């Protein structure tokens, strides 16, 4: 048995992993998989050995909950986090001004001046910190709970570090009250508040990103019609689509969507399957042919038998594939929480060792406590979220200038590794719009043929007819009104134009009206070129043939060539037939072609390429591409494509040009190269600063503060002198870092 549950209470990918491990240990559970982005659990289990209540109970014991039926009415998680961030900022900003303003010459009222009233100075900071801690209560609730479960994550480090800072601050307040006024300059309240505020901001952005990821799934769910017309007995009933049963006779009129999958039992029509297959050409459906839910019936009355409903329909399978693919993404995002399992205990142990070491060396208890707190505060993971913000900001900004929207720093980290780019065909390599490419005539000029054909096709709803009308308009041909119009599903149309009998359609249509076809060889030639041929007869004689095709984009060939020159393999993945696929691929310069692929199999094809060791980017624009975009290491959507494809992708090319693929990869290389140049320094700096803070505590202060040390004890004065020296050392290290900082022009040079 398979079940899915909406999970609440997860804060990071480590939470998802914890749920999976907990459930996979249960007897009777075959497999548990959590999609962190969608906050969904998929569990396969043997209901003879375990029931649902036991699974739910295990989830709750792990510290998480199942969303109830009214979950939809609750405030979205990202809005809650935004409110928490705003509240935190309201208290953190004045706290920073009070604690650090004097360092830049900002005067404070005497009542809270650290020189005049150090006790008030400390108490007001505590008062401003408490609301920030209350707002960030989830960090303590989750972090401390996980710490006691011996499975610490970054929330645990945040909780321990900030809580220790505040506890030490309270301890310092008691010391100030007892006459140790210098302790007013050794507070860490603002550090705790800033850490909590910044991490809350990070959680908000993450939650916002999760919401966007799930938007693609929501839009997919909206594709199927809400109401279906079914015949049960002699009655025609209007029922909700989810109430359609297997075996029901479903009626679909022209312009309506198919509610479920099934087989045609009555009628002939053309069906627009572009939303699922990506192919712009409509597909003729006759009795015995399969139809897919959510596709559009263009021009014929259809009755069909429902065969696949609910989760078994093609659109539901695509939804499932998108969810699964999204749940497997973000290996880099998981790294921090994997490291935290070792990093957090190591930091705590290091803090204890540093404090005990200084105690053995003869330092006072106050000094040793300061050392302990210093290590914990410095180890709080702000740097994990802010290590390369400048690079990410500049890179994404530069991408936007080039019409490339990049959804986060992780995308930039992944994009530089790409060695295979897979392209969809229709709407990606090609324009996605059928146009007239060739006209061959017999005893009539081209414009006259277009006049007759356009007049008849103007009354048709067929996409091929639209392309003929557009071609006539582009030549400024005045299109007359047609009479006696009739559409013959699956074959063509007929009408009377200017007193002449016009018949337009395929070879089957010509045979039906016993019209001799003089264009057989030409039709074959067009077919080999990936074009669709439409025959036009005037007064019973084949007068001409019009070839219609989806044209390749002007930038496609050059973009593919540039990728190949970089050593990046290119592949075309399409549901189109072999001949058309090979023809278009040849025009674009792509040698590797995977054709006749069903929408639900595109993600599987991407996975095969990945399993061969390739770091893969998928470029697409249609609904059928969404699972493949989500499955790929980097999904790239065409800006003119469907919203679902755009939401499923990591990068969006707003101008629709495939040149953007090259630019995005260049941008990634430039950004990662610059980050990489800094990594050597960062490692050195990490070790230097860590040892520095283990050896001495860091404090804020001004010149006047250090002048006050003359009245302090020798021990206090010696400690403050050490602090001043360390601060100077830190400034020197900062200057070194500034010499290696990322410059905007470096990224621009890398792109252009």
Catalytic residues: 424
The DSSP-derived string for 242-264 is GG--TTPEEEE-TTPBP-SEEEE
Length in residues, the chain: 752
Quote the CA–CA distance of 89 and 83 in Å, as a whole number: 10
633-661 as b/e: b if 16+ CB within 10 A: bbbbbbbebbebbbbbbbbbbbebbbbbb
Quote the CA–CA distance of 269 and 560 in Å, as a whole number: 38
Quote the CA–CA distance of 98 and 126 in Å, as a whole number: 11
> Cα dist. 650→48, 406, 742 in Å?
42, 6, 24
Strand partners, 65: 8
Strand partners, 34: 41
Helix, coil or strand: residue 309 = coil
Backbone φ and ψ of 135, nearest 5°: -65, -35
What is the torsional sign of CA 455, 461, 463, 466?
Answer: positive
> Cα dist. 61→28, 65, 297 in Å?
18, 9, 50
Strand partners, 45: 29
Q: Under the phi-then-psi rule, with left for phi > 0, alpha for psi from -120 to 50, and beta for the rest, what region is 304? A: beta
Quote the CA–CA distance of 497 and 538 in Å, as a whole number: 10
What is the torsional sign of CA 251, 253, 259, 262?
Answer: positive
Q: What is the distance in angstroms between the CA of the first residue and the CA of the last residue of the chain?
A: 55
Residue with tokens 């705590």, as numbered in its chain: 348
> Cα dist. 250→91, 267, 310, 488 in Å?
61, 12, 15, 22
H or E element at residue 3: strand 2-8
Residue 211 in tokens: 């919401």
Quote the CA–CA distance of 77 and 81 in Å, as a whole number: 6
Residue with tokens 């627009």, as numbered in its chain: 272
Cβ atoms within 10 Å of 238's Cβ, excluding its own:
8
> Cα dist. 72→77, 320, 626, 673 in Å?
11, 20, 25, 44
Instruction: With beta carbons less than 8 A apart as the criterion, state whether 722 and 196 touch.
Output: no
| Residue 171 CB-density burial (10 A; 0-12 exposed, 13-18 middle, 19+ buried) | middle
Select from 133, 691, 698, 94 the least CA-distant residue to 377.
698
559-598 as b/e: b if 16+ CB within 10 A: bbebbeeeebbbbbbbbbeeebbbbbbebbebeebbbebe
């Amino acid at each position: 048995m398979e079940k899915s549950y909406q999970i609440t209470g997860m804060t990071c990918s480590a939470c998802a992993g914890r749920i999976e491990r907990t459930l996979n240990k249960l007897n009777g559970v075959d497999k548990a998989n959590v999609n962190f982005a969608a906050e969904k659990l998929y569990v396969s289990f043997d209901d003879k050995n375990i029931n649902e209540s036991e699974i739910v109970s295990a989830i709750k014991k792990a510290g998480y909950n199942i969303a109830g039926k009214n979950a939809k009415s609750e405030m979205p998680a990202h809005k809650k986090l935004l409110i928490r961030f705003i509240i935190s900022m309201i208290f953190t900003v004045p706290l920073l001004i009070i604690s650090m303003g004097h360092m830049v010459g900002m005067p404070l009222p005497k009542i809270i001046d650290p020189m005049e009233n150090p006790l008030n100075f400390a108490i007001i900071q505590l008062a401003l910190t408490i609301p920030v801690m209350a707002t960030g209560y989830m960090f303590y609730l989750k972090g401390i709970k996980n710490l006691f479960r011996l499975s610490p994550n970054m929330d645990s480090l945040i909780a321990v570090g900030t809580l220790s800072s505040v506890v030490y601050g309270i301890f310092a307040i008691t010391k100030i009250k007892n006459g140790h006024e210098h302790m007013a300059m050794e507070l860490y309240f603002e550090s705790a508040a800033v850490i909590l505020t910044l991490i809350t901001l990070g959680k908000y952005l993450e939650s916002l990103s999760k919401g966007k990821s799930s938007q693609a799934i929501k839009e997919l769910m909206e594709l199927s019609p809400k109401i279906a017309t079914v015949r049960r007995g002699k009655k025609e009933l209007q029922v909700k689509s989810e109430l359609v049963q297997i075996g029901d006779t479903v009626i679909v009129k022209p312009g309506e969507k198919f509610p479920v999958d099934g087989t045609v039992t009555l009628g002939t029509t053309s069906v627009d399957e572009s939303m699922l297959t990506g192919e712009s050409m409509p597909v003729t459906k006759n009795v015995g042919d399969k139809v897919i839910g959510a596709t559009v019936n263009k021009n014929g009355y259809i009755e069909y038998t429902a065969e696949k409903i609910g989760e078994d329909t093609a659109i539901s399978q695509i939804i499932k594939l998108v969810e699964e693919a999204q749940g497997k993404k973000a290996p880099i995002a998981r790294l921090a929480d994997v490291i935290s399992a070792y990093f957090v205990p190591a930091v705590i142990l290091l803090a204890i060792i540093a404090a005990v070491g200084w105690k053995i060396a003869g330092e006072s208890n106050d000094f040793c406590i300061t050392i302990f707190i210093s290590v914990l505060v410095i180890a709080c993971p702000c740097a994990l979220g802010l290590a390369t913000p400048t690079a990410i900001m500049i890179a994404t900004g530069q991408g936007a200038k080039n019409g490339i929207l990049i959804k986060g720093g992780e995308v930039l980290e992944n994009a530089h590794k790409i060695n295979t780019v897979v392209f969809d065909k229709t709407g990606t390599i090609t324009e996605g719009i059928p146009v007239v490419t060739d006209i061959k005539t017999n005893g009539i000029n081209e414009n006259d043929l277009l006049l007759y054909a356009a007049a008849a096709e103007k009354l048709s709803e067929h996409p091929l007819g639209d392309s003929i009308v557009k071609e006539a308009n582009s030549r400024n041909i005045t299109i007359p009104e047609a009479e006696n119009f009739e559409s013959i599903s699956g074959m063509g149309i007929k009408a009377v134009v200017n007193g002449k009998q016009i018949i337009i359609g395929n070879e089957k249509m010509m045979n039906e009206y016993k019209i001799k076809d003089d264009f057989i060889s030409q039709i074959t030639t067009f077919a080999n070129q990936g074009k669709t041929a439409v025959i036009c007869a005037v007064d019973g004689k084949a007068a001409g043939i019009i070839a219609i095709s989806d044209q390749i984009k002007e930038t496609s060939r050059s973009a593919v060539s540039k990728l190949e020159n970089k050593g990046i393999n290119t592949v075309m993945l399409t549901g189109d037939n072999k001949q058309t696929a090979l023809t278009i691929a040849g025009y674009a310069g792509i040698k590797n072609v995977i054709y006749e692929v069903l929408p639900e199999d595109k993600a599987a094809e991407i996975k095969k390429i990945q399993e061969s060791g390739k770091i893969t980017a998928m470029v697409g624009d249609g609904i059928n591409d969404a699972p493949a975009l989500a499955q790929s290491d980097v999904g790239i959507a065409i800006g003119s494509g469907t919203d679902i494809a755009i939401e499923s992708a990591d990068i969006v090319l707003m101008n629709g040009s495939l040149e953007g693929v090259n630019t995005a990869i260049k941008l990634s290389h430039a950004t990662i190269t610059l980050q990489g140049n800094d990594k050597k320094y960062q490692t050195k700096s990490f070790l230097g600063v860590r040892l520095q803070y283990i050896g001495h505590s860091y404090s804020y202060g001004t010149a006047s503060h250090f002048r006050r040390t003359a009245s302090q004890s020798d021990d206090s004065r010696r400690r403050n002198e050490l602090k001043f020296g360390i601060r100077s050392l830190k400034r020197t290290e900062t200057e070194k870092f500034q010499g290696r900082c990322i410059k905007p022009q470096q990224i621009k040079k890398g792109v252009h």
